C-alpha cells in the first residue's frame, strides 16, 4: 500500500510540474496572474479537503501550524512558477527539488539515523547543481531574478517538508484533513489578496479553469499523501525517494515534451544531481 501511495504522489508531482511549466511559459506572464491562477487551484483544494473535515476535531496546534503551512505553500508555488516562467524546466526543478535536503536533515531532530556519506552526497549534489548552471542554450535567458526565485522556492519547499514531519510526529497527527483544510484556506486568502488587481478584469479563461482543476487535484493528492507518508517513512528515505523520482521523470518530460536542450556539462550536472538524489534514498 505504501508503494502505491508513493507512486500516486510522484505522478501527481510530475503532472503538476508539467502543467506549471506549460502554463507559466505561455500564459502567466505577471506576478498577479500567477497568484490568480493559484487562488483558483487552492479553491478546489479547500473543497476536497473540506469533504472529509466533519470526521475530525481541530486543535489549536493543528490550526496554528496549518496557517503557517498555508502561507509557505502559497509562497513556494508562486516562486516555483515564476522560476519556470523565466528559466529551463529541468534545471529549475533540479534546484527546487533539492530542497529535500532540508527535511532530510531535519530527521536528526526526530532521532532518525543520518550517515556521513549521505551528507557527502548532498555536498556532491550542490556541486552538480552548480555545474548545471553553466551558460548554454537552455540557460541563455537565465538571470539573477530567476536564480533568486529558485532559491526562494528551495527554502519554501524545504520548510514544507519539515512542517509535514513536525505535524505527523505530534499527538495531533490524526487531524491531517483539518491541518490541510486550514492550510489551503490560508493559501487561498493569501493568493487572493495578492491577485486583487487582476481579479475583476476577466482574464481567467475556461482553459485556465481546466488547468486549475487538474492542478488542484494534483496538489490535493500530493499533500494528502505526502503528509501521511512523512509519518510512515523515515525522512532520509521518504523525501529523497519522492523528490528524486519526480525530478527524473520531470527532466525526461522537459526534453520529450518541451524540447529543452542541454550542453554536455549541463547534462553531467543534471544527471549527476539526479543520481545523488537517488543514492541518498537508496543507502541503508
| pLDDT at position 141 | 53
* In the chain, % of residues over pLDDT 90: 31
- Using alpha carbons only, give the angle 12, 4, 163 rounded to the nearest 5 degrees: 60
| pLDDT at position 19 | 92
Instruction: Output 213 or 201, whichever has higher pLDDT.
Output: 213
Would the pLDDT of 140 be above 60? no
- Across 56-65, 192-201, 208-217, least confident range: 192-201
| pLDDT at position 110 | 60
Would the pLDDT of 283 be above 70? no
- Residue 95, CA distances (Å) to 22, 195, 199 in order: 18, 27, 31
Residue 210 located in a structural domain = yes
Residue 212 located in a structural domain = yes
Domain interval for residue 176:
31-282
The model's confidence at residue 80, banded by pLDDT at 50, 70 and 90, is: very high
Mean pLDDT in residue range 50-58: 76
| pLDDT at position 65 | 95
* Angle, helix 31-50 to helix 176-194, in steps of 10 degrees: 150
Q: What is the pLDDT of residues 166-191, one digit of tens each?
A: 888 889 988 888 899 999 999 999 99
Would the pLDDT of 64 be above 90? yes
Residue 17 located in a structural domain = no
What's the mean per-residue pLDDT of the chain? 83
Residue 176 located in a structural domain = yes
The model's confidence at residue 39, banded by pLDDT at 50, 70 and 90, is: very high
- Structure pTM? 0.85
Looking at the structure of the chain, the number of domains it has is 1
Q: What are phi and psi of 201, to 5 degrees?
A: -95, 5
| pLDDT at position 102 | 81
Would the pLDDT of 278 be above 80? no
Residue 20 located in a structural domain = no
| pLDDT at position 107 | 63
The Cα–Cα gap between 40 and 115 comes to 42
Nearest to 125 by CA among 242, 12, 247: 247
Q: Do 5 and 225 form a contact (C-beta atoms < 8 A)? A: yes
Contacts of 176 (CB under 8 A, 6+ apart): 56, 167, 168, 224, 227, 228
Would the pLDDT of 137 be above 60? no
- Residue 148, CA distances (Å) to 34, 62, 178 in order: 17, 31, 33
Residue 4 located in a structural domain = no
Residue 12 located in a structural domain = no
Cell of 57: 476535531
| pLDDT at position 264 | 82
| pLDDT at position 120 | 83
The Cα–Cα gap between 18 and 215 comes to 10
The Cα–Cα gap between 33 and 35 comes to 5
Q: What is the pLDDT of residues 87-124, one digit of tens each?
A: 888 888 888 888 877 877 766 666 666 677 777 887 88
Start-end of H helices in 98-143: 101-106, 116-132
Q: Do 63 and 220 form a contact (C-beta atoms < 8 A)? A: no
The model's confidence at residue 134, banded by pLDDT at 50, 70 and 90, is: low
CA dihedral 106, 159, 175, 13 (to 10 degrees): -110
Would the pLDDT of 36 be above 80? yes
CA dihedral 144, 145, 146, 148 (to 10 degrees): 90
The Cα–Cα gap between 19 and 164 comes to 24
Amino acid at each position: 500500500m505504501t508503494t502505491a501511495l508513493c507512486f500516486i504522489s510522484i505522478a501527481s508531482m510530475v503532472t503538476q510540474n508539467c502543467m506549471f511549466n506549460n502554463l507559466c511559459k505561455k500564459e502567466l506572464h505577471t506576478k498577479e496572474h500567477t497568484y490568480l491562477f493559484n487562488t483558483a487551484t487552492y479553491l478546489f483544494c479547500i473543497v476536497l479537503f473540506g469533504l472529509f473535515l466533519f470526521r475530525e476535531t481541530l486543535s489549536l496546534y493543528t490550526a496554528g501550524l496549518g496557517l503557517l503551512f498555508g502561507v509557505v505553500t502559497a509562497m513556494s508555488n508562486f516562486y516555483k512558477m515564476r522560476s519556470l516562467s523565466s528559466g529551463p524546466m529541468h534545471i529549475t526543478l533540479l534546484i527546487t527539488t533539492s530542497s529535500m535536503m532540508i527535511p532530510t536533515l531535519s530527521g536528526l531532530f526526530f532521532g532518525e539515523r543520518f550517515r556521513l556519506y549521505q551528507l557527502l552526497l548532498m555536498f556532491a549534489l550542490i556541486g552538480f547543481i552548480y555545474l548545471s548552471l553553466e551558460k548554454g542554450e537552455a540557460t541563455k535567458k537565465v538571470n539573477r531574478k530567476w536564480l533568486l526565485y529558485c532559491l526562494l522556492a528551495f527554502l519554501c519547499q524545504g520548510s514544507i517538508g519539515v512542517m509535514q514531519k513536525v505535524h505527523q510526529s505530534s499527538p495531533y497527527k490524526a487531524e491531517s484533513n483539518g491541518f490541510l483544510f486550514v492550510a489551503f484556506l490560508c493559501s487561498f486568502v493569501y493568493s487572493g489578496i495578492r491577485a486583487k488587481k487582476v481579479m475583476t478584469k476577466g482574464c481567467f479563461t475556461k482553459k485556465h479553469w481546466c488547468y486549475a482543476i487538474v492542478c488542484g487535484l494534483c496538489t490535493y493528492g500530493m499533500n494528502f499523501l505526502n503528509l501521511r507518508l512523512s509519518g510512515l517513512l523515515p525522512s532520509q528515505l521518504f523525501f529523497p525517494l519522492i523528490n528524486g523520482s519526480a525530478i527524473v521523470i520531470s527532466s525526461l518530460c522537459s526534453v520529450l515534451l518541451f524540447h529543452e536542450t542541454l550542453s554536455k556539462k549541463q547534462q553531467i550536472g543534471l544527471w549527476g544531481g539526479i543520481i545523488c538524489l537517488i543514492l541518498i534514498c537508496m543507502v541503508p
